Structure formats: C-alpha cells, structure tokens
Amino acid sequence: MKIKIWNHTGISKNTGHKADYRSWKINPAQFNSLKTGCYGDEQANNKSTREILLELNALVGLHGVKKLIEEIHSYIEIQKMRQKEKLAAEPLGLHMIFKGNPGTGKTTVARILGKLFKEVGVLPKGHLVEVERADLVGEYIGHTAQKTRDQIKRALGGILFIDEAYSLARGGDKDFGKEAIDALVKGMEDHRDSLILILAGYQDEMDWFVETNPGLRSRFPIHITFPDFSNRELLAIADLMLQQRQYYLSNGAREEFCFVIEKEHKRHKHSGNARLVRNLIERAIRRQAVRLLQKESGLSRMDLMAINREDLIGASDQI
C-alpha cells in the first residue's frame, strides 16, 4: 500500500507582482478540501487516511509539525507491513508533548491525530478529550486521583489532551497536582493499547515541567514544537476564516490587516496566532454590519461580502 503525503502549504504566490501581502492568496481547490481546521468547526471522524492527511496538510504553516507527523504515520504503516510479513515489528511510543503559544494549532493537530490513529488501527475510537488542571486536581486527599481517573475513562480509546500541563507541578510538594501526575502515569501504564496522552503548553514552561519530572521524558518520547505564525501565514488564515463565512478582504483591508498584525506584534511578543486573527475578523464583521446599515442606498451581494479598510481600523483596540 502506497501512502501519499500531501505537501500543500495553504498559500500560493502570484508571479510578477510586487512582493507584498496583496500578492498572496489561498489555492481555491485546496480551500474546498478544508472544511474545518484550527480555524473552523469540527469535521466528522469517518475519513480515509488520505482525507485525514489532506486535512492536516491543508492547515496553514506548521511545516515542521507536518513533517514529524508524516514520519510517525509512515513508521506505523511500515511496522504493519513488517508484521504482516512475520518480521519483527517495534511499537512506537505515541504519548506526546506539544509546545507552543496559544492559537498555534495544538488542539487542532491533536484532533486530526486522533482521526489518523483511529484510521490506521492505533486507537479504537480516536476521539479527543481536552482538559486542564481544574478538571484533574481536587480539593482534598483522594479527590484528585478520582477526578483524574474519571477523565482517563472518558478518553479511553482516544486521546487525553491536557492543556497547560505544567500547572500540575507548580503548587509545590503539598499541592495535589503531583497526585494527578501520578494518576496519569498509572493510567498510561494500565491502558497502553487504548489511550494516548498529549501534554501541551508554552515551550519554556513545558521544558521546565519535563525537567522537574524526570520520569516524564521517557514516557513522552515525541516532542512537537508549534511556532508562531508569520504575518503571511496569519493573512492566509484570515482569508480562510473569511471564505468560510463568505466574506473577503478588500485590497485596502488587506493592508490594514497587516498593519494591525505588526502593531500587535510590537505590543505583545507572542500575539502571532490564529486566536488574534479570529478576534480581528469577528470584530471587523460586526463593524461592517454597522457601516452597511448606515448606507441609504441598496446593498449588493459584493457589499455584503466585502470587509473594507474602515472595518478593520481600530478593531484591535477592542480584542
């Protein structure tokens, strides 16, 4: 069986144009294949391997992430072939640590991995259960272990995704977070064939978390770093969000969008992510609605779809 790994980046460039943001656009054929993603609603889980890989590679950016997942998928497929030929097959530890700022696609990629692992036979269900410290840590002795076991039970057959996992180790020796970590480790050992854990959070904090819990390094062999999106990638994400809603950015709005993104980068070092884009877009759509209702003449289809520069001016002040 030959597995084709798709290498779409989500962005194409018009040749012969000035190298500015207006010359970057989304490939329409690729957009039609991207019905959801880290920038939209959930898709149904019943997908072929090819469709799942296409969904992954249709995400904007994340080139290093995609490459590592390609390696994981290829390894799984080859081990299945080796097993069929009665050759020694080595299982791959699939518990992972995701490092990156909010809005860089960690949860989206985890959800896609669940679908992929179900399709290739690694997990029976492939669903994603997303939790944080409050869902695992209790208020008295024994409460934490039970809460953690309950979340593990929910995730059996799929992936347990723990956001800001480093917070489990921040309360000191008397904090119940350590009890949650111990319960998670036991759950990993008790359910080797039906549970994958993904610990996620900021890169520095996750590095500290692993260093202060030496036993985690060997249990989580796969570390994936999610970089901040570039301005060009953020513009591509904005185009995707707007196309899903049947809007588009006018040329003036595209320039203003890039100006706002640059300004946010100067204000906040790690502001370059999809959540910022979503907030900007939603604010601009509301401002467009106010602008259109103030017009005295009738509105055309294009009027209803276009986000203009004035819709984006000041939008970042209220996000």
How would DSSP label each residue in 71-132?
A: HHHHHHHHHHHHHHTT---------EEEEE-TTSSHHHHHHHHHHHHHHTTS-SS--EEEE-
Residue 39: pLDDT band (50, 70, 90) is very low
- 70: tokens are 């390609």
pLDDT at position 42: 39
Say whether pTM exceeds 0.85.
Answer: no
Provide the residue range defining the domain that includes 21.
12-226
Q: Answer whether residue 1 shows pLDDT above 50.
A: no
**Average pLDDT of the segment spanning 288-316:** 86
- Is the same domain home to 205 and 261? no
- Is the same domain home to 160 and 305? no
Distance CA 94, CA 110 (A): 12
Q: Are 198 and 99 in contact (CB under 8 A)?
A: no
Residue 113: pLDDT band (50, 70, 90) is very high
- Is the same domain home to 77 and 133? yes
Distance CA 280, CA 4 (A): 36
Strand locations in the chain, DSSP E? Answer: 12-13, 24-25, 96-100, 128-131, 158-163, 195-201, 222-226, 248-249, 306-307
Distance CA 78, CA 46 (A): 23
**Average pLDDT of the segment spanning 86-111:** 92
Distance CA 34, CA 51 (A): 10
pLDDT at position 106: 95
Distance CA 84, CA 121 (A): 14
Is 4 a domain residue?
A: no
The DSSP code for 3 is: P
- Is the same domain home to 247 and 119? no
pLDDT at position 272: 60
Report the number of distinct structural domains present in the chain.
2
Q: Answer whether residue 211 shows pLDDT above 70.
A: yes
Residue 220: pLDDT band (50, 70, 90) is very high
Distance CA 99, CA 109 (A): 12
Is 114 a domain residue?
A: yes
Q: Answer whether residue 23 shows pLDDT above 90.
A: no
Residue 316: pLDDT band (50, 70, 90) is low
